[in-house]
Amino acid sequence: MNRYYFDHNATTPVSPEVFEAMAPLLREDFGNASSIHYYGQRAKQHLETARRQMAELIHAQAQEIVFLSGGTEADNLALFGVVRNSPRPARHVITTAIELARNLSARAWRSRACRSARKA
């Protein structure tokens, strides 16, 4: 029986090229890049190499590249950045009822933070 996967919002299959590139890192240099121990520093070296490569690929500066853990984190970073840099008093966000609950709660938090900042 043929099976097809259509839930690419949740996760996507890993391409063979990505799998091959990542395999050594998953086996050998798997540390937390924020840690000072050997494995963490090796992971940090790989992370910074990837940051430079990505920057070169899109003609950006390495310090402009931010790696995130997933879609919700990326959505919130983008949303908060837009709201934070919007001209006052037009700091508002229009969203839809189909948003994930965690995105809506983050938006509500940001909305309260913006209101508090305006009152100060």
Q: Where are the domains of the chain?
A: 16-64, 71-119
Residues constituting the chain: 120
**pLDDT of 71-111, one tens digit each?**
778 888 887 888 788 877 766 777 776 666 666 666 565 56
48 residue type, one letter: E
Nearest to 55 by CA among 45, 44, 46, 66: 66
Task: Please report, as a single letter, which amino acid is at residue 45.
Answer: Q
Cis, bond preceding 24 (omega within 30 deg of 0): no
Q: Which residue has the higher pLDDT, 77 or 39?
A: 39
- The pTM score is 0.65
